[in-house]
Amino acid sequence: MDLKKLPIGVEEFSEFRENDYYYIDKTGMIKELVENLGKVNLFTRPRRFGKSLTMSMLKYFFEIGTDTSLFDRLSISKEKEICRKYMGQYPVISLTLKQVDGFDFDDAKLQLWSIIKAEAERFDVLQESNHLNIRDKQNMMNLSMGIGNLEESLSLMSRILNKEYQKKVIILIDEYDVPLQKAYTGGYYKEMAKLISQFFGYGMKTNPYMEFAVVTGCLRIAKESIFTGFNNPKIHTIVDKDYREWFGFTDKEVLDLLTYYGKESYQTITKEWYDGYLIGDIHVYCPWDVMNWCYELTHRDSTIPKNFWANSSGNDIIYKFVDLADEETRKDLEKLMNGGSVWKTINFELTYSELEESIENLWSVLFMTGYLTYKSFDKKQYELVLPNEEVTDLFKTLVKRWFQKKVRTDEHGLKNFFEAMDTENPMRMEDCLNILMDSSISYMDGGNVKEKENFYHGMVLGMLNARKDWIVKSNREAGNGRLDVMAYYKWDKTAYIFEFKYANDEKDLEKMVDRAVEQIEKNQYEKFFMPIRPDKIVCYGIAFWRKMCRVKMVVKEGN
Do 375 and 453 share a domain, yes or no? Answer: no
Instruction: Write down the H helix ranges in 79-205.
Output: 80-86, 105-121, 134-145, 153-165, 178-186, 189-200
Do 346 and 434 share a domain, yes or no? Answer: no
CATH code (residue 69): 3.40.50
Q: Within a domain: residue 344? A: yes
Do 149 and 188 share a domain, yes or no? Answer: yes
- Closest to 446 measured CA to CA, from 438, 434, 455: 455
CATH code (residue 415): 3.90.1570
Q: Within a domain: residue 399? A: no
Do 444 and 537 share a domain, yes or no? Answer: yes
Q: Within a domain: residue 21? A: yes
- Closest to 351 measured CA to CA, from 485, 541, 223: 223
Q: Within a domain: residue 403? A: no
Question: Which of 272, 292, 311 is the last residue in one of the domains?
Answer: 311
SS3 of residue 442 by DSSP? coil
Strand partners, 381: 345, 378
Q: Quote the DSSP letter at residue 57.
A: H
Residues 138-147 as b/e (b if ≥16 CB within 10 A, e otherwise) read: ebbebbbeee
Strand partners, 557: 536
- Closest to 288 measured CA to CA, from 51, 487, 501: 51
Amino acid type, 377: F
Report the relative pairing of strands 342-345 and 381-385 from DSSP bridges: antiparallel
- Closest to 381 measured CA to CA, from 342, 350, 349: 342
Q: How many CA atoms lie within 13 A of 544 on its CB side?
A: 29
Do 368 and 502 share a domain, yes or no? Answer: no
Do 120 and 38 share a domain, yes or no? Answer: yes
Range of the domain at 115: 13-236
**Sequential pLDDT tens for the chain (559 residues):** 689 999 998 999 999 888 989 999 999 999 999 999 989 999 999 888 999 999 999 999 999 999 999 999 999 999 999 999 999 999 999 999 999 988 999 999 999 999 999 999 999 999 999 999 999 999 999 999 999 999 999 999 999 999 999 999 999 999 998 998 889 888 898 899 889 989 998 998 889 999 999 999 888 765 555 655 555 578 899 999 999 999 999 999 999 999 999 999 999 999 999 999 999 889 999 999 999 999 999 988 778 899 998 776 667 777 777 777 777 888 888 889 888 999 999 888 777 777 767 788 888 888 988 899 999 999 889 999 999 999 998 888 777 777 777 777 777 788 899 999 989 999 999 999 998 887 776 655 455 677 788 888 888 888 898 888 888 999 988 888 899 999 988 767 889 999 999 998 899 999 999 999 999 999 988 888 776 678 899 999 999 998 899 999 999 876 6
State the Cα–Cα distance between residues 361 and 356, nearest whole angstrom.
7
Do 360 and 214 share a domain, yes or no? Answer: no
Do 307 and 318 share a domain, yes or no? Answer: no
State the Cα–Cα distance between residues 397 and 315, nearest whole angstrom.
11
Do 359 and 422 share a domain, yes or no? Answer: no
- Closest to 40 measured CA to CA, from 295, 211, 190, 158: 211
State the Cα–Cα distance between residues 31 and 75, nearest whole angstrom.
9
**Helix%, strand%, coil% for the chain, nearest 5:** 50, 20, 35
Q: Within a domain: residue 246? A: no
Q: Within a domain: residue 338? A: yes
Number of domains in the chain: 4
Do 494 and 539 share a domain, yes or no? Answer: yes
Q: Within a domain: residue 180? A: yes
Q: Within a domain: residue 77? A: yes
Contact 61, 111 (CB under 8 A): no
Amino acid type, 516: A
